[in-house]
Amino acid sequence: MARVLVQRLWPAAVAAASLVAVTACGGGSSNASATGAGGADVQKAKDAVTAAQALQTAWTGPTSSPKPPAGANVIYVSSDQNNPFASQFGTYLKQAAAKLGWHVSIIDGKGTPSGWSDGLRQAIASKPGAIVTSAQAPSVQQPLAEAAAAGIPVLGLHSAAAPGPDPADHLFTNITSDPAAAGRVMVDWAIADSNGKAHIVIVGDDQYPVSNLKRDAMVAAIKTCSGCTLEKNANVPVGTAATDLPTQLTSWLQSYAKPLYVLSVADFYFDVGLSSLKNLNVPKSDLRLAATDGTTQAYQRVRTGQYQVVTVPEPTELLAWQAADEVDRALNHQPPSTFTQPIYIVTKDNINSQGGDKDEFVPQNDYKARYEKLWGVS
């Protein structure tokens, strides 16, 4: 949302003036047990978690692709080059494009809507074959419309809430994992880990569509667990997370039953907001954290048992290679592939699998060789 909620939730957002806590129903925290028509299905949740931990060896991506044009120029407008995910994506995109003989230049959007707009307009003025951006589409509709008018296809990276074509936002396609699936699997883990008795706080940022999509999916999943409690669906702006989250965590630990499950739409929240827990000597048994994105810090916390038990990572390099393939389709006036890599969940049990030994998610489905074969460059 960065995932961009820093690290896919994206770009460091403009700090909000105040912290507004909301629940799934839009007001006040709820201490009542969530109820669902079917009640808790703990075994179903455990099965879902087990399936999401499996090695991803099958290729579920495209099986054909048009011939890449020679010498294409692509500009990547990064949401924020200080955002590790956004920066790393640009590096991987350059590597994929190099296989095609393409040139990729990078413009830093510097983490603000004005910076994203300036970056997109600078890119449009350069008349590239295509633009790839991790800027938030709702915040830059005018420059995106200008790109469309100029006949320049724009591909989003976590720029909208859902994966796939997004003509309403002037995006040829939006490249991301399935946010709703990521939210659901975190709740599945909490249900399984607590045997259907989890007390849960959700953390996200209202200004990001992808954050809201994940949170809505989590709320719906919690309602299927009759023994679980949604304590709070909290809006914590990304821009103030470093100062706001520690205070909120302390309050939640004092107010709600333990162990408390805190499920975040982005690992970034925990990257910046856990220092006070160590200073307060909060027992690790009191707090069980899960989040999405798979930042380096998140992998390290899961590995060493520093409160975080789960991360749901995104395959950054695979997404970059997919972006190159989608650009190829756009330049050939063909529709996008709509490929979405399945969700993967990381716990201490599988922390070193599929790139985890290097603190990243690298599916074992030979995606680079697959794309090279599709492009005719293998």
Residue bearing the bigger pLDDT, 5 or 290: 290
Place 378 in a pLDDT band, splitting at 50, 70 and 90: confident
d(CA 320, CA 76): 11
Of the pLDDT bands very low, low, confident and very high (cuts 50, 70, 90), residue 209 is confident
For residues 324-334, give the mean pLDDT: 98
Q: Smallest Cα–Cα separation from 134: which of 93, 180, 182? A: 93
- pLDDT given at position 5: 44
Residue 79 and residue 13: Cα distance in Å, rounded? 10
CB-CB contact of 71 with 113 (8 Å): no
pLDDT in tens, 54-84: 999 999 999 999 999 999 999 999 998 887 7
Per the DSSP assignment, residues forming a β-bridge with 130 are 74
Q: What pLDDT score was predicted for residue 210?
A: 85
Rounded to 5°, the CA angle 30-32-38 comes to 120
Whether 20 shows a pLDDT value over 70: the answer reads no
Other C-beta atoms closer than 10 Å to the C-beta of 18 total 8
Q: Average pLDDT in the 212-221 region? A: 96
Q: What average pLDDT does the segment 28-38 reach?
A: 37
State yes or no: pLDDT of 347 exceeds 50. yes
pLDDT at 83: 79
239: phi then psi, degrees, rounded to nearest 5 = -65, -20
Q: Has residue 304 got a pLDDT over 80?
A: yes
369/377 Cα distance (integer angstroms):
9
Confidence of residue 138 (pLDDT cuts 50, 70, 90): very high
Q: Which of 25-34, 50-59, 123-132 has the lowest mean pLDDT?
A: 25-34
Partners of 76 in the beta sheet? 106, 132
pTM: 0.85
E-only strand ranges, the chain: 21-22, 73-78, 103-108, 130-133, 154-157, 164-166, 171-175, 199-204, 229-235, 260-264, 287-293, 308-313
pLDDT in tens, 40-49: 489 999 999 9
Out of 82-86, 237-241, 283-287, which region has the weakest mean confidence (pLDDT)? Answer: 82-86
Q: Is it the case that residue 7 has pLDDT exceeding 70?
A: no
Q: Which of 214, 146, 211 is nearest to 184 (CA)?
A: 214
Res 115 pLDDT > 70 = yes
Q: Is the pLDDT of residue 276 over 80?
A: no
> Looking at the predicted structure, is the pLDDT value of residue 23 above 60?
no
Assess whether pLDDT exceeds 80 at residue 377.
Answer: yes
pLDDT at residue 122, rounded to an integer = 98
Stretch (H or E) spanning 193: helix 179-193
pLDDT(207) > 60: yes
Query: Is residue 18 very low, low, confident or very high in pLDDT (cuts 50, 70, 90)?
Result: very low
Rounded percentage of the chain residues whose pLDDT exceeds 90? 79
Cβ-based neighbour number of residue 95 at 10 Å: 15
Across all residues in the chain, what is the average pLDDT?
89
Q: Check pLDDT > 60 for residue 119.
A: yes
Higher pLDDT, 268 or 24: 268
- Tokens matching residue 278: 């160590």
Question: What is the predicted pLDDT for the residue at 230?
Answer: 98
- Yes or no: say if 330 and 147 are a contact pair by the CB < 8 Å rule: no
Q: Is the pLDDT of residue 213 over 50?
A: yes
pLDDT higher than 80, residue 184:
yes
Residue 275 — very low, low, confident or very high, per pLDDT cuts 50/70/90? confident
- Enter the tokens of residue 141: 């509709």
What's the pLDDT score for residue 145? 98
